[in-house]
A and B are shown apart, each in its own frame.
Chain A
């Protein structure tokens, strides 16, 4: 088995795909404003034309590097390249003013370590959870998907009510087409192209890439001038930091993986939580925000670990942990791989090879990341007025390539403009995306469960796991009210 996996991942085309994806990840991650999610949406249509392992490896490798590369402009310009780098920006920039290469190299090593710890947890927990999940019925899946939607509301929006609206919009987008239980046609306005619903990948490209392009083109001449990075006592700083803060790396990686595995919570939230915990338990909390490497290590280990964590619910239950895995779900389905417990039984070798790619991608990131640090000034100099039209062409070809349909390209554009306005109004796009995926699952599992029980609602809490998940879901709904009440009490006390 081990040699079989090794043979699979060491195929030249798989290694080449990982290498190219990492280069692309560096480029997107290092450009402020362009996110790893957008890069995933752009890359997915092209994975359709590869074998499943090469295609999925591209997504895994690209996201890992993009999240690290987001720290490059954070260190050099005080601008996080991706939202996942925001937590450590202040500390990273302060440190980077005197030691940019050393700070970025330490950041790179800790990112890789976080990614590897997250991958190991993914490797060891997923098969166990999958065995457990084999016994799940529509009742458990109903609560699990509803809990995922609830988390998307609670976590992703500043105002939960706008999170609810995001979920409603996503859910309604997903209801277009042939209804899954009875086969009724809904909201197609007579268009044949809409019978199978809005294509998922063009929708993702539209929702994640077009709003970014519209924002970026509003400052067409913006480019960043950074001096070439040379020299630095890299090894010394890395070894000192690792010796001193090994507990921080381990703790942050665990926190990152756990938060990544929660539906709706991504690498950015993992980084903030881990940064907060590190500050609370630190011997020198007053140094946080003023340039401490401990803060950088805590956030960077957590955000990369979260990436692997997000694959746990995706592979085991078919429920994505964040927007990146939501898009990856589309790629898996396109290759005929239906995530869920049966995936481990039917495609065991492929799943194991994917796990190995997680480790390989994080190791290769050390090399690509180091090159990126050295070449960062060149990447940051590319002006927006050159970059934006280039990405727009990729958006069009990517949307078209999925079904060879211009209708998909128009869907991408319409949803992109819709996404731009939603962002401006504070409606979170990740909630919309999770609802597009989880909405139909909630509907299907709810109706089929009621049919099975002949409309007896007791079935929803009749099994222990279902009852536990029901409690968790209701607790998630109540949580914001408890938090508001606590804040009010605190406010009146002070």
Chain B
């Protein structure tokens, strides 16, 4: 039920945001042909409509009386979710991934990938030696396959390009 409320809020917001973005684009052009904002505006209207339908459904459920306890329950669930190990694991991984991509242009693909693989494995409980061995082997394999065989271009570092040439 809370999912429906979340989806309804998102779809109404998305619809309104698209309408705002379309204000500089014509809906119809010469002779009345559909213009570049015709479809985006159509989609945003449907998005708002879907959001409203879900919202009405949500309030109908509130009237039936089952929702207040459900909301209280969900605050408890929210607290549980924030202390939940799987969620923390997913958040930690997202942060590592962001740091990984941020560092690629500075230190280059291979070095950053090696560090990323090593740190991620250690963070998630693999022993240091094993993590280092696996990361090194994988990076070597990636180098041989992608650079040696497939001739794929990988991001090179802004600093110290000489190291990689």
B36 and A182 form a contact (CB under 8 A): yes
Interface: B73 (CB within 8 A): no
Interface: A446 (CB within 8 A): yes
Shortest CB-to-CB span from A319 to chain B, Å, is 18
B87 and A386 form a contact (CB under 8 A): no
* A175 and B113 contact, Cβ closer than 8 Å, known pairs A182-B35, A218-B89, A392-B97: no
Q: Which residues of B contact A426 (CB under 8 A)?
A: 3, 7
* A409 and B90 contact, Cβ closer than 8 Å, known pairs A385-B121, A393-B116: no
Q: Which residues of A contact B93 (CB under 8 A)?
A: 213-214, 217, 388
Interface residues on A, range: 35 or more
Shortest CB-to-CB span from A177 to chain B, Å, is 11
Q: Mark contacts of A384-417 with chain B using CB atoms, 8 A cut-off: 1 yes-contact digit, 0 otherwise.
A: 1110111011001100110010100110010001
* A385 and B33 contact, Cβ closer than 8 Å, known pairs A168-B43, A393-B116: no
A175 and B39 form a contact (CB under 8 A): yes
* A389 and B117 contact, Cβ closer than 8 Å, known pairs A171-B39, A219-B86: yes
* A217 and B47 contact, Cβ closer than 8 Å, known pairs A172-B18, A396-B100: no
Of residues 355 to 403 in A, which have CB atoms within 8 Å of B's CB atoms? 383-386, 388-390, 392-393, 396-397, 400-401
Tell me, in angstroms, the Cα distance from A260 to B89 when the chains sit together: 37
A393 and B142 form a contact (CB under 8 A): yes
Q: Which residues of B contact A214 (CB under 8 A)?
A: 90, 93-94
Q: Mark contacts of B133-165 with chain A using CB atoms, 8 A cut-off: 1 yes-contact digit, 0 otherwise.
A: 011001000100010001111110000000000
Interface residues on B, range: 35 or more
Tell me, in angstroms, the Cα distance from A175 to B37 when the chains sit together: 10
- Closest B residue to A50 by beta carbon equals B150
Contact of B113 among A396, A417, A439 (CB under 8 A): A396
Shortest CB-to-CB span from A384 to chain B, Å, is 8
Tell me, in angstroms, the Cα distance from A384 to B90 when the chains sit together: 12
Binds B, one of A86-94, A119-127, A159-167, A329-337: A159-167
B101 and A406 form a contact (CB under 8 A): yes
Tell me, in angstroms, the Cα distance from A175 to B17 when the chains sit together: 14
A164 and B50 form a contact (CB under 8 A): yes
Interface: B46 (CB within 8 A): yes
Tell me, in angstroms, the Cα distance from A425 to B25 when the chains sit together: 32
- Greatest chain B CB density within 10 A among A389, A393, A417, A426 is at A389
Tell me, in angstroms, the Cα distance from A214 to B90 when the chains sit together: 5
Interface: B71 (CB within 8 A): no
A187 and B86 form a contact (CB under 8 A): no
Q: Which residues of A contact B65 (CB under 8 A)?
A: none
Q: Which residues of A contact B154 (CB under 8 A)?
A: 397, 400-401
- Closest A residue to B122 by beta carbon equals A385
Of residues 200 to 246 in A, which have CB atoms within 8 Å of B's CB atoms? 213-215, 217-221
Contact of A390 among B31, B46, B117, B125 (CB under 8 A): B117
Tell me, in angstroms, the Cα distance from A24 to B39 when the chains sit together: 41
A397 and B109 form a contact (CB under 8 A): yes
- Closest A residue to B26 by beta carbon equals A184
Q: Which residues of A contact B116 (CB under 8 A)?
A: 389, 392-393
Shortest CB-to-CB span from B78 to chain A, Å, is 13
* Secondary structure dominating the interface of B: helix
Q: Which residues of A contact B100 (CB under 8 A)?
A: 392, 396
Tell me, in angstroms, the Cα distance from A486 to B3 when the chains sit together: 27
- Closest A residue to B57 by beta carbon equals A161
* Secondary structure dominating the interface of A: helix
Tell me, in angstroms, the Cα distance from A197 to B90 when the chains sit together: 29
Shortest CB-to-CB span from B42 to chain A, Å, is 9
Tell me, in angstroms, the Cα distance from A390 to B155 when the chains sit together: 17
Q: Which residues of B contact A215 (CB under 8 A)?
A: 90
Contact of B31 among A175, A221, A455 (CB under 8 A): A455
A217 and B43 form a contact (CB under 8 A): no
Please name 12 pairs of A and B residues whose Cβ atoms are closer than 8 Å in the assembled complex, sorted by A: A46-B150, A50-B150, A169-B14, A171-B39, A389-B135, A397-B146, A400-B154, A406-B101, A406-B105, A410-B101, A424-B3, A426-B3
Interface: A49 (CB within 8 A): yes
B101 and A217 form a contact (CB under 8 A): no
- Closest B residue to A404 by beta carbon equals B153
Interface: A458 (CB within 8 A): no
Interface: A427 (CB within 8 A): yes
Can you list the 5 inter-chain pairs with the closest CB atoms, starting with the nearest? A218-B86, A385-B124, A220-B124, A184-B36, A389-B120
A386 and B121 form a contact (CB under 8 A): yes
Q: Which residues of A contact B54 (CB under 8 A)?
A: 161
Contact of B47 among A165, A443, A450 (CB under 8 A): A165
A413 and B97 form a contact (CB under 8 A): yes
- Closest B residue to A46 by beta carbon equals B150
Of residues 79 to 129 in B, which have CB atoms within 8 Å of A's CB atoms? 85-87, 89-90, 93-94, 97-98, 100-101, 104-105, 109, 113, 116-117, 120-121, 124-126
* A401 and B153 contact, Cβ closer than 8 Å, known pairs A172-B43, A425-B7: yes
B40 and A401 form a contact (CB under 8 A): no
- Closest A residue to B38 by beta carbon equals A447
A393 and B89 form a contact (CB under 8 A): no
Shortest CB-to-CB span from A139 to chain B, Å, is 15
A184 and B25 form a contact (CB under 8 A): yes
Q: Which residues of A contact B117 (CB under 8 A)?
A: 389-390, 393
- Closest B residue to A210 by beta carbon equals B97
Tell me, in angstroms, the Cα distance from A181 to B34 when the chains sit together: 10
Q: Which residues of A contact B138 (CB under 8 A)?
A: 390, 393
B121 and A389 form a contact (CB under 8 A): yes
Tell me, in angstroms, the Cα distance from A454 to B31 when the chains sit together: 9
- Closest A residue to B139 by beta carbon equals A393
Shortest CB-to-CB span from B41 to chain A, Å, is 11
Shortest CB-to-CB span from A357 to chain B, Å, is 20
Of residues 168 to 198 in A, which have CB atoms within 8 Å of B's CB atoms? 168-169, 171-172, 175, 179, 181-182, 184, 186-187
Tell me, in angstroms, the Cα distance from A401 to B40 when the chains sit together: 31
Shortest CB-to-CB span from B23 to chain A, Å, is 12
* A182 and B43 contact, Cβ closer than 8 Å, known pairs A165-B7, A217-B93: no
Q: Which residues of B contact A388 (CB under 8 A)?
A: 93, 120, 124
Task: Beyond the given A164-B46, A220-B89, A389-B117, please list 7 additional residue pairs across the A-B interface where CB-CB is below 8 A.
Answer: A49-B152, A165-B47, A186-B25, A388-B124, A397-B142, A420-B90, A439-B39
